[in-house]
A = this chain, B = another copy of it.
Protein backbone atom coordinates (compact mmCIF):
# COMPACT_ATOMS: atom_id res chain seq x y z
CA UNK A 1 0.00 0.00 0.00
CA UNK A 2 1.18 3.45 -0.94
CA UNK A 3 2.46 5.72 1.79
CA UNK A 4 -0.55 7.94 2.22
CA UNK A 5 0.88 9.30 5.45
CA UNK A 6 3.40 11.29 3.51
CA UNK A 7 0.87 12.21 0.85
CA UNK A 8 -1.31 13.71 3.54
CA UNK A 9 1.54 15.52 5.27
CA UNK A 10 2.72 16.99 2.00
CA UNK A 11 -0.69 18.60 1.81
CA UNK A 12 -0.45 19.87 5.40
CA UNK A 13 -2.92 17.35 6.71
CA UNK A 14 -2.42 15.30 9.84
CA UNK A 15 -2.26 11.62 8.93
CA UNK A 16 -5.16 10.11 10.83
CA UNK A 17 -6.37 6.56 10.14
CA UNK A 18 -9.64 7.94 8.79
CA UNK A 19 -7.88 10.19 6.31
CA UNK A 20 -5.53 7.45 5.20
CA UNK A 21 -8.56 5.29 4.51
CA UNK A 22 -10.27 8.06 2.54
CA UNK A 23 -7.24 8.52 0.31
CA UNK A 24 -6.96 4.76 -0.10
CA UNK A 25 -10.63 4.46 -1.06
CA UNK A 26 -10.29 7.25 -3.60
CA UNK A 27 -7.20 5.63 -5.05
CA UNK A 28 -8.93 2.27 -5.36
CA UNK A 29 -12.28 3.55 -6.63
CA UNK A 30 -11.27 6.49 -8.76
CA UNK A 31 -14.40 8.62 -8.36
CA UNK A 32 -16.70 8.65 -5.36
CA UNK A 33 -19.68 10.63 -4.10
CA UNK A 34 -19.75 11.63 -0.42
CA UNK A 35 -22.58 9.18 0.06
CA UNK A 36 -20.61 6.26 -1.37
CA UNK A 37 -17.42 7.25 0.40
CA UNK A 38 -19.34 7.28 3.67
CA UNK A 39 -20.62 3.76 3.09
CA UNK A 40 -17.11 2.54 2.29
CA UNK A 41 -15.74 4.21 5.38
CA UNK A 42 -18.44 2.80 7.64
CA UNK A 43 -17.20 -0.67 6.75
CA UNK A 44 -13.78 0.20 8.15
CA UNK A 45 -14.79 2.53 10.98
CA UNK A 46 -18.17 1.47 12.26
CA UNK A 47 -18.65 4.64 14.28
CA UNK A 48 -17.28 7.21 11.86
CA UNK A 49 -19.36 10.35 11.69
CA UNK A 50 -20.75 11.72 8.45
CA UNK A 51 -19.44 15.10 9.59
CA UNK A 52 -15.93 13.67 9.45
CA UNK A 53 -16.47 12.78 5.81
CA UNK A 54 -17.69 16.27 4.94
CA UNK A 55 -14.99 18.01 6.95
CA UNK A 56 -12.24 15.97 5.35
CA UNK A 57 -13.57 16.34 1.85
CA UNK A 58 -13.62 20.10 2.33
CA UNK A 59 -10.15 20.19 3.85
CA UNK A 60 -8.72 17.98 1.13
CA UNK A 61 -10.31 20.21 -1.49
CA UNK A 62 -8.82 23.31 0.11
CA UNK A 63 -5.41 21.68 0.21
CA UNK A 64 -5.71 20.42 -3.36
CA UNK A 65 -5.29 16.79 -2.43
CA UNK A 66 -8.58 16.00 -4.11
CA UNK A 67 -10.73 17.55 -6.79
CA UNK A 68 -14.49 17.84 -7.24
CA UNK A 69 -16.08 16.68 -10.48
CA UNK A 70 -19.56 18.06 -11.03
CA UNK A 71 -21.56 15.47 -12.93
CA UNK A 72 -24.54 16.54 -15.05
CA UNK A 73 -27.85 15.40 -13.54
CA UNK A 74 -26.12 13.67 -10.65
CA UNK A 75 -24.18 14.27 -7.50
CA UNK A 76 -20.61 15.45 -7.51
CA UNK A 77 -17.82 12.94 -7.23
CA UNK A 78 -14.32 13.41 -5.86
CA UNK A 79 -11.01 12.13 -7.13
CA UNK A 80 -7.38 12.38 -6.12
CA UNK A 81 -5.72 15.35 -7.80
CA UNK A 82 -3.75 14.29 -10.84
CA UNK A 83 -2.53 15.90 -14.02
CA UNK A 84 -5.19 17.68 -16.03
CA UNK A 85 -7.65 15.35 -17.70
CA UNK A 86 -11.23 15.18 -18.92
CA UNK A 87 -14.05 12.83 -18.00
CA UNK A 88 -16.23 10.37 -19.87
CA UNK A 89 -19.61 9.71 -18.32
CA UNK A 90 -21.82 6.81 -19.30
CA UNK A 91 -25.41 8.00 -19.00
CA UNK A 92 -26.67 4.43 -18.75
CA UNK A 93 -24.44 2.70 -16.21
CA UNK A 94 -23.11 5.86 -14.57
CA UNK A 95 -19.51 4.86 -14.98
CA UNK A 96 -16.93 7.63 -15.04
CA UNK A 97 -13.59 7.33 -16.78
CA UNK A 98 -10.64 9.63 -17.03
CA UNK A 99 -9.47 10.50 -20.49
CA UNK A 100 -6.36 12.43 -21.50
CA UNK A 101 -7.30 15.01 -24.11
CA UNK A 102 -4.76 17.57 -25.16
CA UNK A 103 -6.69 20.83 -25.06
CA UNK A 104 -3.74 23.17 -25.04
CA UNK A 105 -3.92 24.32 -28.62
CA UNK A 106 -7.68 24.73 -28.47
CA UNK A 107 -7.53 26.63 -25.20
CA UNK A 108 -4.81 28.94 -26.53
CA UNK A 109 -6.99 29.77 -29.51
CA UNK A 110 -10.06 30.48 -27.34
CA UNK A 111 -7.90 32.52 -25.00
CA UNK A 112 -6.81 34.80 -27.82
CA UNK A 113 -10.27 35.17 -29.32
CA UNK A 114 -12.05 35.88 -26.04
CA UNK A 115 -9.27 37.76 -24.22
CA UNK A 116 -9.74 35.43 -21.25
CA UNK A 117 -6.66 34.17 -19.40
CA UNK A 118 -7.75 30.55 -19.13
CA UNK A 119 -5.93 28.40 -16.60
CA UNK A 120 -8.30 25.52 -16.02
CA UNK A 121 -10.85 23.43 -17.88
CA UNK A 122 -13.66 21.16 -16.81
CA UNK A 123 -14.66 18.93 -19.67
CA UNK A 124 -17.21 16.15 -19.35
CA UNK A 125 -18.23 14.07 -22.35
CA UNK A 126 -21.48 12.17 -21.84
CA UNK A 127 -22.91 9.25 -23.75
CA UNK A 128 -22.87 5.49 -23.66
CA UNK A 129 -19.84 3.39 -22.91
CA UNK A 130 -18.97 0.38 -25.04
CA UNK A 131 -20.85 -1.97 -22.70
CA UNK A 132 -24.01 0.13 -22.88
CA UNK A 133 -24.51 0.64 -26.61
Contact = CB atoms under 8 A, between A and B. Distances in A.
Interface residues of A, number: 32
A127 B123 contact: no
A64 interface: no
A126 interface: yes
Contacts of A116: 88, 90, 125, 127-130
Contacts of A121: 123-126
Top 8 A-B residue pairs of the complex, sorted by shortest distance between their CB atoms: A70-B70, A115-B130, A118-B127, A120-B126, A122-B124, A117-B128, A117-B127, A118-B125
Interface of A: 68, 70-73, 88, 90, 97, 99, 101, 106-107, 110-111, 114-130, 133
